Each structure stands twice: as structure tokens, then as C-alpha cells.
Amino acid sequence: MKLYKKGNDQSYTLGVFPTIELLKHRPQNVVRVVVHSSIHQNRGYPMIQELCQQYHIPIDVHDRTIEKLSPKNNCYAIGVFKIYTSPLQQAHHVVLEHPMDMGNMGTIMRTMLGFGYKNLAIIKPAVDIFDPKVIRASMGAIFHLNVAYYESFEEYYHAFSDHEFYPFMLKGAKNIHQVHSHQCHSLVFGNESHGLDDTYLNYGQSVFIPHHEEIDSLNLSMALGIALFHFSKAEFEGKEVLREDV
């Protein structure tokens, strides 16, 4: 096992929880699971064993592999999987142009999953979503999502031209509080440092999130979380409790 590099045909999860998420949601892609000899103390291990047995996935005990791939962290399990593609479904989408920050990408995936957005289009060049740092930051949310890369926004736009498009821009024409969508939509966000350029004013309904001038802009994952909260309101506003079990 080698440290992951962009372009590899395999990647891996670091940690028990994301490994369980991988086994539950992408079992067909898992090559093997590597565990540390001290994993028996971990309460997630029975679940890993059960899932590996169900899908005929080998479990190897190999401390040195774990220590090599996760030298600094207290890691008990690694799930090795083949890189896969997952075409987008006809549903609401998030579109990110040139995202570059691995931690942000993980947070974004997790927040998308929370608000029921399971399809993510990424316009290249962009961060590699299968980098173990992204997988870790997503806490396994990546395995619930369909993620597809596009060479340009034009390419994505033509593939889903029946969607409503909402580019989020400081220059956006409409206040998000006044925007209500009732059909399949694509929420489009620019890069962490410079946002979307003016050409995006020509696609669909550009939107701004109002805030005071004392800050230049909200950060990307914050803007995205607020947008998802607003656009998914109809689904969630009648809920009486968050979960039965809390």
C-alpha cells in the first residue's frame, strides 16, 4: 500500500466511521479492509466484520500499513476501494467551479447530505475528491453522493439545461430571501477566493446572500450551507422533531 496520489486507481478511508460508511454505501468498490491489531477495543469493529462478511471483503490485520498511511492519527481501520464514477441523477444539484480546498470540500459534502442534496457537479480544474483528506473531512458523506467532474460549465449546462440555474454571486440580481424554487435546480458557487465571474449573470437567476459591508463575503461553505437551508425549506419547515432518538 502506498500513500494516495492523484491519478491512482485506488484510494482509502482513514478511520472506523468512514470505513463503515464506505462498506454500507459502496460495497461493490471495496477491495479490502486493513485493521490495526488493537481494533478489538473499538465498538465499531463488529459492524465492519459483519459488512465485510456480507460482501465477501477480506480483512487484513496489518499495523505497519495503518501507521504508514495515517502516521499522526489514532486510526484503527482503512478501507481500500477502487476509484469509481457516479453519474448525476435528475434531482437538485450543487455545482462548484474550481473548488481547491480539501477541508471545505468535505464540509460541503456533509452539509449537502444533511439537506438532501445528493448530486454534486465539479467544474475542473478542482480538488481531487478521492484524496483521503477530503474523504476524512466529509466523514464518509462522499459515499452517499453522486459526484461528476466537467471540463467546463458549458458542458454541465448543456447536460442539464432543463434545470433552474441559481449562480451565487456578490453581484447577484436577486436577494435569496425573495427567491423560491419549485422545480429541479442547480445552485452554482465559485471558487473559495474569487467567486463566479460576470459571465454567470447570464445563466438563470443570479442570487446574493445579503450581509453587512463590514465583511467582503461569506466563506464558501457558509454561503453554501445557507443556500441549501433556504432552498430546502419546503421539505423541512413542517418537521416537529429532528430525530426520534435524540
Q: Which stretch binds a second copy (CB under 8 A): 63-71, 72-80, 84-92, 105-113?
A: 105-113
Grid cell for residue 60? 487484513
> Residue 47, interface with a second copy (CB under 8 A)?
no
Among the listed residues 53, 116, 124, 180, the single contact to a second copy using CB under 8 A? 116
Cα–Cα nearest to 66, from 75, 79, 58: 75
Q: Least Å distance between CB 202 and a second copy?
A: 17
Binding mask 159-188 for a second copy (x = CB under 8 A): -----------xxx--x-xx----------
* Residue number, 82 or 171, with CB nearest to a second copy: 171
Which residues in 128-161 are b (16+ Cβ under 10 Å) and which e?
bbbbbbbbbbbbbbbbbbebebbeebeebbeebe
Binding mask 191-210 for a second copy (x = CB under 8 A): -----------------xxx
Rounded distance between C-alpha atoms, residue 185 and residue 108, angstroms: 17
> Residue 23, interface with a second copy (CB under 8 A)?
no
Among the listed residues 20, 39, 66, 113, the single contact to a second copy using CB under 8 A? 113
> Residue 74, interface with a second copy (CB under 8 A)?
no
* Residue number, 84 or 236, with CB nearest to a second copy: 236
> Residue 83, interface with a second copy (CB under 8 A)?
no
Q: Least Å distance between CB 219 and a second copy?
A: 6
Binding residues for a second copy, per CB under 8 A? Answer: 107, 110-111, 113-116, 139, 141, 144, 170-172, 175, 177-178, 208-215, 218-219, 221-222, 225-226, 229-230, 233, 236-243, 246
